[in-house]
């Protein structure tokens, strides 16, 4: 996603696979939903980010389980690449999709994602419904696949892609990943494991408020990493790991994603 933030920050933001539930509002099938949530639960997710100087390589592994007592559940599953304008082509390159280890082709389709302060997000293909608050709607290209979820059997969906990092005029380099889109799945997300491999950086290059700072946190230009370093395990000078358990992104605001950002190299006033 090309989104302008303070100091002309360009922050690509990538996200969990989501269940597309537009129904009558768009061409995607409704699939299997109970209320606002899918009957499918995201039992576990594993996100590995190789954060480089100019681009990042990302591998996502999602384990899903159907809540239906009998019969298959069918769902359109979409991995969103958020955009700003209709002419925006997104940031994802080289997307590869695997279902239970078998490579499949995903279809890139323009759509929307809606999220307000507390409720379960909504998404769909085509134009968003007019009744949704425009300020809470984000356009996206979804890498969509039709998935069958048998009763009593886990289904594993993997996404592998490359994307350019973001940055700003103060020389920060950034990468963001959101779990908020995963709030549409049934109940809580059982476990999320994050692993960050730094390629050309070290942990000391990252702008943690509780890390080895080059200046006071509030004097830092642009963003700093979230969550704080205290939540991460420093495996080595170039590797971080973190696990979240049993969380609901629609409710737990501190579990809606992670942000990687390097320190600015410019001095104040220059």
Q: What HEC string does 60-105 produce?
A: EEEEEEECCCCCCEEEEEEEEEECCCCCCCCCEEEEEEEECCEEEC
27 in a structural domain? yes
Sheet holding 239-247, edge to edge: 102-104, 92-99, 154-164, 55-66, 40-51, 189-198, 239-247, 233-236
Q: Give the chain's radius of gyration (CA, Å).
A: 19
Q: What is the pLDDT of residues 139-160, one digit of tens each?
A: 888 999 999 999 989 999 999 9
- The list of the chain residues with pLDDT below 50 reads 1-12, 22-30, 269-270
| Domain CATH number, residue 121 | 2.60.40.3680
Q: In the chain, how many domains are there?
A: 1
What pLDDT score was predicted for residue 17? 62
The residues, ordered by sequence, that sit 6+ positions from 189 with a Cβ below 8 Å of its Cβ are: 42, 44, 45, 179, 182, 244, 246, 247, 248, 249
Tell me what pLDDT residue 125 has. Answer: 85
In-domain check, residue 125? yes
pLDDT at 238: 98
72: nearest Cα among 43, 40, 101: 40
Asked if residue 189 is part of any domain, the answer here is yes
The confidence score (pLDDT) of residue 3 equals 28
């Amino acid at each position: 996603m090309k989104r302008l933030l303070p100091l002309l920050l360009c922050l690509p933001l990538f996200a969990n696979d989501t269940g597309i539930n537009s129904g009558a509002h768009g061409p995607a099938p409704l699939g299997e939903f109970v209320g606002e949530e899918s009957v499918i639960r995201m039992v576990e997710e594993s996100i590995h980010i190789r954060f480089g100087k100019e681009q990042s390589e990302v591998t996502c592994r999602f384990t899903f389980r159907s809540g239906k007592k009998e019969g298959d559940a069918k769902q359109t599953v979409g991995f969103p690449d958020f955009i700003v304008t209709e002419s925006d082509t997104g940031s994802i390159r080289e997307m590869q999709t695997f279902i239970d280890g078998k490579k499949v082709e995903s279809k890139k389709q323009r759509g929307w994602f809606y999220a307000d302060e507390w409720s379960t997000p909504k998404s769909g293909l085509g134009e968003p419904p007019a009744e949704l608050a425009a300020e809470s709607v984000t356009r996206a290209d979804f890498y969509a696949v039709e998935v069958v979820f048998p009763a009593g059997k886990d289904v594993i969906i993997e996404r592998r892609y490359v994307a350019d990092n973001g940055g700003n005029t103060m020389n920060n380099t950034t990468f963001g990943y959101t779990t908020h889109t995963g709030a549409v799945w049934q109940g809580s997300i059982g476990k999320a494991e994050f692993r960050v491999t730094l390629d050309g950086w070290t942990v000391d290059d990252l702008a943690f408020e509780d890390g080895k700072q080059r200046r006071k946190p509030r004097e830092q230009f642009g963003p700093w990493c979230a969550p704080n370093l205290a939540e991460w395990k420093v495996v080595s000078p170039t590797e971080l790991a973190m696990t979240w358990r049993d969380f609901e992104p629609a409710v737990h605001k501190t579990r809606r994603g992670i942000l990687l950002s390097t320190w600015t190299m410019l001095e104040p006033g220059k």
